[in-house]
């Protein structure tokens, strides 16, 4: 399996793309035989879902099957051999150097040796792949899950390295999350990586800390801000739901309706009617308005 090259025997389907990270479903249909030497141009984390192959490189040979996760770094000299016919199916996570450095204690290089992870992490990667494939899936939510997932995988290789730069407890934690909320209030479309970069903190720990302090994830907070903005627009009488969805970065009109209904229990159209308030223009201008009838004193019963 070659995760980065165009190959007629490789069928690559991108399932998620966001700043700093891409996730691809890769089907290899090479038959039994020896591969061609090549050089890896990017950082990658590979999960074998079916089949097996042998990766040969500077650190020797490694048999890779569904029990192992393997890593590649730019410039790695490698070869992929196939001991059996029938090919293999894999999931590839591609990371840019900045995101990797933030997740991996400042080091922009992935581990050299394959890693054997517990079944629950393998299941989590499969569930993540399935969620990313769903129509109307939130890129922000799935992307945040993917970043946290890769961080947990790396922790299995060296539990201490991703913890460098972890924010201290107490007031500094609250201050950091307040800064994150303030930044998202100004621009809810910021990615986890962009937000972490602006706050000079690891996206892994920012996401964990945000949930610990607020009780919900960054992606859920971002979505709630969008719902609030949608409610304000509906209260102003917005009728074009497709335009509203596009303006607020929802996937489409149906995604907007589904999220608002899940968050509020009501449809956008019913909320528009319920929230719309008729205001006398003279009151908006601050003019004095004479009451139509004299006020009545409220007397105790």
Query: What is the 8-class DSSP label of residue 25?
Result: E
The per-residue pLDDT for 169 is 52
Tell me the pTM. Answer: 0.70
Element (H, E) at 255: helix 253-264
**Residue-by-residue pLDDT tens, the chain, 301 positions:** 444 455 778 899 999 998 889 999 999 988 888 888 888 889 999 999 999 999 998 778 899 999 989 999 999 898 999 998 888 999 999 999 988 888 887 777 898 889 988 888 899 999 999 988 887 777 888 888 899 899 889 888 876 665 544 444 557 888 888 899 989 888 888 888 888 888 888 888 888 888 888 888 888 888 888 888 888 888 888 889 999 988 888 888 888 888 888 888 888 888 888 887 655 444 545 444 444 444 443 344 3
Q: Are strands 115-116 and 68-72 parallel, antiparallel or unpaired?
A: antiparallel
The pLDDT tens digits of the residues spanning 68-84 come to 899 999 998 989 999 98
Could you tell me if 260 and 226 are in contact, meaning their C-beta atoms sit under 8 angstroms apart?
Answer: no
What span, in angstroms and rounded, lies between the C-alpha atoms of 244 and 238? 8
Helix or strand or coil: residue 76?
coil
Query: What is the 8-class DSSP label of residue 2?
Result: -
Q: In what order do the strands lie in the sheet with 115-116?
A: 10-18, 21-28, 88-95, 43-50, 68-72, 115-116
């Amino acid at each position: 399996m070659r995760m980065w090259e165009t190959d007629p025997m490789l069928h690559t389907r991108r399932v998620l793309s966001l700043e700093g990270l891409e996730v691809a479903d890769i089907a290899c249909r090479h038959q039994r035989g020896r591969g061609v030497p090549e050089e890896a141009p990017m950082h990658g984390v590979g999960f074998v879902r079916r089949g097996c192959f042998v990766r040969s490189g500077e650190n020797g040979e490694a048999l890779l099957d569904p029990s192992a996760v393997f890593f590649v770094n730019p410039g790695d000299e490698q070869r992929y051999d196939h001991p059996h016919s029938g090919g293999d199916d894999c999931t590839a996570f591609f990371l840019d150097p900045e995101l990797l450095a933030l997740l991996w204690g400042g080091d922009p290089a992935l581990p050299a040796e394959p890693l054997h992870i517990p079944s629950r992490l393998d299941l989590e990667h499969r569930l993540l792949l399935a969620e990313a494939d769903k129509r109307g899936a939130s890129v922000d939510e799935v992307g945040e899950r993917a970043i946290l997932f890769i961080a947990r995988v790396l922790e299995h290789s060296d539990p201490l390295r991703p913890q460098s730069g972890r924010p201290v407890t107490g007031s500094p934690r609250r201050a950091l999350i307040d800064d994150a909320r303030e930044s998202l209030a100004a621009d809810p479309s910021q990615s986890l990586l962009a937000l972490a970069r602006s706050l000079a903190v690891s996206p892994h720990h920012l996401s964990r800390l945000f949930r610990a302090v607020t009780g919900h994830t960054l992606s859920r907070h971002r979505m709630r801000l969008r719902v609030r903005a949608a409610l304000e627009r509906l209260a102003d009488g917005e009728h074009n739901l497709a335009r509203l969805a596009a303006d607020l970065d929802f996937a489409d009109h149906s995604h907007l309706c589904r999220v608002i209904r899940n968050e509020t229990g009501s449809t956008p159209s019913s909320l528009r009617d319920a929230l719309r308030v008729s205001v006398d223009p003279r009151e908006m201008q601050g003019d004095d308005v004479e009451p139509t009838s004299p006020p009545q004193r409220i007397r105790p019963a």
